[in-house]
Amino acid sequence: MSIRQLSVFLENRPGKLYDLTALLAAHGIDMRALSIAEATDFGIARIIVNDVDRCAMALREGQFIAQLSDVLAFAVPDEPGGLHNLLSEFNAAQVNIEYMYAFLGGEPGRAYMIFRVTDTERAEKALTGRGLKSLTLDEIEKS
Amino acid sequence: MEHYYQPEIECASRDEIERWQSERLVNQVRRVWENVPYYKRKMEEQGVTPDDIQSVADLKKLPFLSKADLRDAYPYGLMGKPLRDCVRIHSTSGTTGKRVVAFYTQHDIDLWEDCCARALTAAGATKEDVVQVSYGYGLFTGGAGLDGGSHKVGCLTVPMSSGNTDRQIMFIRDLNATIICCTPSYAAYLGERMKELGLGPDDIPLKAGIFGAEAWSEEMRQDIQKTLGIKAYDIYGLTELSGPGVSFECSAQAGMHINEDHFIPEIIDPDTGEVLPEGAQGELVITAVDKEAFPMIRYRTKDICSLTYEKCSCGRTHVRMTKPKGRSDDMLIIRGVNVFPSQIETVLLNHGYAANYQILVDRVNNTDTFEILVEMTPEMFTDSIGKIQELQKTLSMGLVSMLGIRPKVTLVAPKTIARSEGKAVRVIDKRKI
């Protein structure tokens, strides 16, 4: 199962990320993961939250530009070679990664990786075929 | 000692000048009445016939021409000569894709080049000089005008055109250029680049520069004179009225002499059209009395300045105008190029952006900066930085092809550009001119 991620357009100016976190705080939205990609004059904040639909609505009302996209999440053991072993499966399944980011949490000794891949559906099928099931939001929260 | 290109004209008595003006005006109005139906109709609407125009004193009876007329009549509607008699066109950068195209007969080219030759001579040019023309060549009038004038004076002309600054500096040094013609902001940039290369004013042979096509301040003149070690002369003109050389500065650097044998100036109240007395500030209106192919009568330049008929220490008798203070419409001159907000709007809309934008113009180290803030729309947004940058690049290229110069395109969040009641504040011009 893929996870729905929100990508938010941010101007590259002081106070802009603050505006976003203020909005999330005001709506009681909890972030699971956050990653920021930046160009010279703008950036994209990619977030995974506890309530994606409510968050999307709050962003729209707050005049933010945001987009939903599907990403894959996997848990890897927090030890040398953990990510490498996962990526070797991606490699074997010929999955192209557009970007990825990591966060720690849940169980100690575990890291979580979020992947945005070129063809989510195909990638999921290929990886499941290799015995790798991507996590749901619930699975991340429970772990 | 002051040199003149055509002393008998440039130092003529007021009586003589007015006699030429009257004679040429009467003929010009008759020619236009017979050959330009568009202007004839305007005269009829005003109830004027050529018989009403007996001397320069009757000028104010004639209707104005404006940029709107030029657009209405685009491209051939204001021509005073058939195309087979024309030898050249030049063009402005134009609004919303519709440019002003001006036509020239060989006679028109000759009189224009004479005007530029007067400007060059006033800046000290002789047959011994090497003139580097670093204005753009092509549809823009800057390159062609000064190039022609330089030939008339007999200078060795270096047709550099604009850009490639290091090569410009190399040519100045290697070919011993003594006079340079370009926009003032480019002159300032040349100076900056020289400093970076460790070169001072004594390392280049330049003695004078003729700088026009954009507004510049007295402070900027001082700065250019110091960094390049030259005397900096202003020159004024519009494509509609030939190009540079409608007026030019002499060694006194106290206003620009209007070539009155070809161009009759008036200053009007831009709101009422009323002719204002000498010394009053208002919109400059020019009548070109002997241009054949594109005969402009009472053309409203939109430039705000004043006139003085006081005697000039250089010996020239032609009236002087002050540096234009600014335009009475919304046109911007950025790095010597005409930019209209409506052009930017067209490009944005064509690329799927909202027409909500803001133009930021400033002058940093004497070079114009040009930035356009564009609001991001949900439709344009994607999760990929690369795709958004590609959109930015496409937009930037669309703007370059419309405007002729490259702005920095900055994407901003929606609703961040202030909306105002009625007319939007599209332009923030921080340049101190």
Q: Hunting for tokens 């419309």 — which residue is that? A: B402
Cβ contacts of B322 within 8 Å, gap of 6 or more: B255, B281, B305, B306, B307, B308
Looking at chain A, which residue has its C-alpha nearest residue B408? Answer: A41
- Three-state SS sequence of chain B: CCCCCCHHHHCCCHHHHHHHHHHHHHHHHHHHHHHCHHHHHHHHHHCCCHHHCCCHHHHHHCCCECHHHHHHCCCCCCCCCCHHHEEEEEECCCECCECCEEEEEHHHHHHHHHHHHHHHHHCCCCCCCEEEECCCCCCCHHHHHHHHHHHHHCCEEECCCCCCHHHHHHHHHHCCCCEEEECHHHHHHHHHHHHHCCCCHHHCCCCEEEEECCCCCHHHHHHHHHHHCCEEEEEEEEHHHCEEEEEEECCCCCCEEECCCCEEEEEECCCCCCECCCCCCEEEEEEECCCCCCCCCCEEEEEEECEECCCCCCCCCCCEECCCCCECCCCEEECCEEECHHHHHHHHHHCCCCCCEEEEEEEECCEEEEEEEEECCCCCCCCCHHHHHHHHHHHHHHHHHHHCCCCEEEEECCCCCCCCCCCCCCEEECCCC
Give me the torsion for CA of B184, B322, B325, B59, rounded to 10°.
-120
> At residue B314, what are phi and psi to the nearest 5 degrees?
-80, -15
Across the interface, whether the CB atoms of A9 and B384 are under 8 A apart is answered no
Q: Residues of chain A whose C-beta is under 8 A from some C-beta in B? A: 7, 9-11, 16, 37-39, 41-42, 44, 46, 63-67, 69, 98, 116
Query: What are residue A43's DSSP bridge partners?
Result: A10, A38
C-alpha B196/C-alpha B169 separation (Å) is 12
C-alpha B247/C-alpha B253 separation (Å) is 12
Chain B residues within 8 A of A38 when measuring between CB atoms: 385
Our CA-based measurement puts residue B426 at a distance from the nearest CA of chain A, in whole angstroms, of 20
- Say which residue, A63 or B225, is predicted with more confidence: B225
pLDDT interval class at B325 (50, 70, 90):
low
Structural domains of chain A, with CATH: 3-69 (3.30.2130.10), 71-142 (3.30.2130.10)
What average pLDDT does this structure show over B2-6? 95
* pLDDT for residue B97: 47
pLDDT at residue A120 is higher than 80: yes
pLDDT tens by residue, B191-221: 878 988 899 999 999 999 999 887 677 777 8
ipTM value, please give it.
0.84
pLDDT at residue B109 is higher than 90: yes
Q: Hunting for tokens 């609703």 — which residue is that? A: B415
pLDDT tens by residue, B390-425: 988 999 998 998 888 889 999 998 877 765 444 456
Across the interface, whether the CB atoms of A39 and B378 are under 8 A apart is answered no
- Token pair of A122 as six digits: 């195909």
Across the interface, whether the CB atoms of A39 and B414 are under 8 A apart is answered no
pLDDT tens by residue, B264-321: 999 999 889 999 999 998 999 999 999 999 999 999 998 889 999 999 999 999 999 9
Structural domains of chain B, with CATH: 7-329 (3.40.50.12780), 333-429 (3.30.300.30)
Chain B residues within 8 A of A10 when measuring between CB atoms: 413
Long-range CB contact pairs, B417-422, < 8 A, 24+: B417/B356, B417/B357, B417/B358, B417/B373, B417/B375, B419/B356
pLDDT at residue B95 is higher than 70: no
Q: What is the pTM of this model?
A: 0.65
Chain B residues within 8 A of A41 when measuring between CB atoms: 410-411
Chain B residues within 8 A of A97 when measuring between CB atoms: none
- Exposure of B199 in the CB half-sphere (CA atoms within 13 A): 18
C-alpha B173/C-alpha B190 separation (Å) is 13
Q: Please give the span between the terminal C-alpha atoms of chain A, in angstroms, as a whole number.
A: 16
Our CA-based measurement puts residue A110 at a distance from the nearest CA of chain B, in whole angstroms, of 27
Please state, rounded to an integer, the average pLDDT across all residues of chain B.
90
